[in-house]
Amino acid sequence: MIRTALIIHSMVLLLAGAAAQQSSEPVLQYPQEKHFKNVRQLTFGGDNAEAYWSFDGSMVSFQSNNKAWGLQCDQIFFTKIEGQDLKNQRPVMVSTGKGRTTCAYFMPGDKEILFGSTHLGGDACPPEPERRPGGKYLWPIYDSYDIFVSDLNGKSIRQLTAVPGYDAEATLSPKGDKIVFTSTRNGDLDLYVMDVKGKKVKQITNTVGYDGGAFFSPDGKKIVFRASRPDTEEKKKEYLDNLKVGLVAPTEMEIFVCNADGSDLRQVTRLGKANWAPFYHPSGKKIIFSSNHKGARGFEFNLFMINEDGTGLEQITYDKVFDSFPMFSPDGKKIIFSSNRNNNGTRDTNLFVADWVD
């Protein structure tokens, strides 16, 4: 989430794609991954990420740029977890096929999907930023992103946000009553909440820096998110100067939590480097997230879990390149994530689902 977004945010795997290290080992599960059982690969080509469960746990929404599906940049799809053959069949696309999309999430009732899209800003994929020689890795923040809701056929689409600036990275409370999202409507990348009709918008973070990729806790009372916190005037200026031209550097981020109204804001991790894609453990007391803090190179991302108070850090995955976007099923029995594992030496990032073992 950016998704461009970081996301991929889009994030979709802007990080993994940028790292572009090849993972040729045919591995579905590493021996150290004791919390996983019965790992299965769902997608087979392109960058596939930000897969989020339906409320009934039978489906996931996700974004993909799989060229075999006729895509030039990320579009939104959904698939059933069981009985689908995504190796030979394209799933149902719910976005318009125009522009770039990010961060899809099922609406209550599982008949509609929420997502961010730039399609009102133009049919073409918006350009990715040029690499600056010797410079920081940068994510694009497209101000043409707005938040939409589509039926599962992609035929009926309605717009939830319509103010100038970037609006994306939207997810829902497990209660189905609130949406949290990231916006630049105030000149910074802050978190906002609104109801499922796009009304009653309230800003809940207000510190200079990027706040995004937010998710509610299982009881809907708290929010976990990733954030950059430039701590010197020089860093703040660099951050704001980048933001003015639609860019953000995702190389220094930590995990934060707050109440759903923005109160009691607390920093969870202090690991350095990039810590992002957080999601609450079913207990509501732990947080799983992706981090490169143990990697010698910037693109080595694995999943870690930590107590909400910042204690008890535990490594969960061990791929040599990229694991991210973890999400537990509503019943807490399964987990879905994106990984560069088992990609036959390509740069493909695929979706994997596993039974979760506490």
- From residue 129, how far is each of 243, 300, 330 by CA, in Å? 13, 22, 36
Q: What pLDDT, in 10s, does the model give residues 160-216?
A: 999 999 999 999 999 999 999 999 999 999 999 999 999 999 999 999 999 999 999
Q: What pLDDT was estimated at residue 12?
A: 39
- Mean pLDDT calculated for residue range 92-110: 97
Residue 124: domain span: 14-356
Q: What pLDDT was estimated at residue 130?
A: 78
- In a domain, residue 242? The reply is yes
Half-sphere exposure of residue 141: CA atoms within 13 angstroms, side-chain side: 29
- Mean pLDDT calculated for residue range 331-343: 97
- In a domain, residue 205? The reply is yes
If you average pLDDT over every residue of the chain, what do you get? 92
| Position 32, amino acid | Q
pLDDT bracket for residue 296 (50, 70, 90): confident
Quote the distance between the C-alpha of residue 98 and its chain's center. 20
- In a domain, residue 222? The reply is yes
Residues facing residue 76 across a β-bridge: 63
Q: Does the pLDDT of residue 236 top 50, yes or no?
A: yes
Closest CA to 323 of 102, 19, 104, 64: 19
Q: What pLDDT was estimated at residue 133?
A: 61
Q: What pLDDT was estimated at residue 298?
A: 72
Whole-number Å distance between alpha carbons of 303 and 326: 8
Q: What pLDDT was estimated at residue 297?
A: 76
Q: Is 203 exposed, middle or buried (0-12, 13-18, 19+ CB in 10 A)?
A: middle
Q: What pLDDT was estimated at residue 7?
A: 40
- In a domain, residue 7? The reply is no
- From residue 267, how far is each of 117, 172, 196 by CA, in Å? 30, 22, 28
Q: What pLDDT was estimated at residue 293?
A: 96
- In a domain, residue 3? The reply is no
- In a domain, residue 235? The reply is yes
Q: Is 63 exposed, middle or buried (0-12, 13-18, 19+ CB in 10 A)?
A: buried
| Position 191, amino acid | L
Q: Does the pLDDT of residue 146 top 70, yes or no?
A: yes
Whole-number Å distance between alpha carbons of 244 and 138: 13
Please give the DSSP secondary-structure letter assigned to residue 159. Answer: E
Domain total of the chain: 1
- Higher confidence at residue 248 or residue 1? 248
Note the pTM of the prediction, 2 decimals: 0.94
- In a domain, residue 204? The reply is yes
What is the CATH classification number for the domain harbouring 108? 2.120.10.30
Q: What pLDDT was estimated at residue 25?
A: 62
Q: What pLDDT, in 10s, does the model give residues 263-290?
A: 999 999 999 999 999 999 999 999 999 9
Say whether 355 sits in a helix, a strand or coil.
strand
Of 97-101, 132-136, 299-303, the range with the lowest mean pLDDT is 132-136
- Mean pLDDT calculated for residue range 119-124: 97
238-259: burial string, b at 16+ Cβ within 10 Å, e else: ebeebbeebbbbbebbbbbbbe
Residues facing residue 190 across a β-bridge: 183
Q: What pLDDT, in 10s, does the model give residues 1-32?
A: 444 333 433 343 444 444 444 455 689 999 99
- In a domain, residue 71? The reply is yes
Q: Does the pLDDT of residue 84 top 60, yes or no?
A: yes
- Mean pLDDT calculated for residue range 325-333: 98
pLDDT bracket for residue 132 (50, 70, 90): low
